[in-house]
Amino acid sequence: MRDVLRFLTLRFLWLLATLWVVFTLSFVLMREVPGGPFLMEQQVDPVIQKQIEAAYDLDKTKWEQYVITLGKTVRGDLGPSFKMRDYTVNEILAEGMPRSVALGTLALLIALVLGIVAGTVSASRRGGFIDRGLMLVATIGIALPNFVIASILILVFVIQLSWLPAAGWGSLRFMILPAFCLGAPFAAYIARLTRTGMLETLTQDYVRTAHAKGLSPWRVVTGHAMKGGLLPVASFLGPAVAGILTGSLVIEKIFAIPGLGTYFVQAALNRDYTLAMGCVLFYTLLVYVMNLLVDISYTILDPRVRLD
């Protein structure tokens, strides 16, 4: 118990340090880009321009802006959006987060189900036609970016067959295409990792013992080999979550989903400093938490692994 508390304390301290570094780099890089959030094409009265900048503390030095922004962020106040009137960044994140999390969760679930099933079947039929066919499909899935997959599926299921809606947000029907497009490349990676892990596990002595006891091949795979074979997949879950989050920026834009990805793109294009900062910090926090859960899952899948 003491080791677990020590582990969690150290990871929490590393989280704070990571968030501070990300905050500092984001703050500096955004303000080094030429222009600003209130630089308009039409000429504005200099007095009005100064009043707008003063309302958002942009009339102060960069160091003063850094201290003020950092103090508000530590208190959980990400400030008002520079471009979306009457909205704070906290409100925008609270509105877009459930949609992005729902899309990402469904995409990750699709990737895990398709990848684990394909990898397990492929390992069980090693060297056969099914093995080669599944690995060929996995290779194609890795090679194709998700926006290419999205274009193909829109042509087939939206334009040709008219089975699914092209864009928007509402019922589960609106989530099927974007979630599949987002999760398909990761399903391909998981399939290859599962196959590799299962092939190694199937040669272990305890698996041979299970075969010798007369257990069915399906029970040997699911009851004995699966747990050890999924260790490479557990390692991949952290980067997979990060990839799904960054990939959702493109997918949400293609399918017009009002999630964090869409807001993040708009913030970058509009030089909305506070909204962009809020999205970056949220993504950093989410990826860090997922990596922590992956580390903890290792101890569940393999009792020999300790939290140090």
Quote the pLDDT of residue 8.
77
CATH for 200 = 1.10.3720.10
Lowest mean pLDDT among 1-5, 71-75, 159-163, 252-256: 1-5
- Look at residue 107 and tell me whether its pLDDT is greater than 80: yes
Q: Report residue 99 as tokens.
A: 């949609």
Q: Are 271 and 37 in contact (CB under 8 A)?
A: yes
Q: Are 183 and 105 in contact (CB under 8 A)?
A: no
Whole-number mean pLDDT of the chain? 78
pLDDT category at 32 given cuts 50, 70, 90 is confident
Distance, CA of 185 to CA of 168 (rounded, Å): 23
**Considering its fold, how many domains does the chain have in total?**
1
pLDDT category at 220 given cuts 50, 70, 90 is low
Report which listed range, 176-190, 232-246, 265-279, is most confident.
176-190
pLDDT category at 21 given cuts 50, 70, 90 is very high
CA 184 to chain centre: 14
pTM: 0.73
Quote the pLDDT of residue 198.
77
Report which listed range, 144-153, 224-233, 290-299, is most confident.
144-153
- Look at residue 157 and tell me whether its pLDDT is greater than 80: yes
- Look at residue 298 and tell me whether its pLDDT is greater than 60: yes
What range defines the domain where residue 184 resides? 1-308
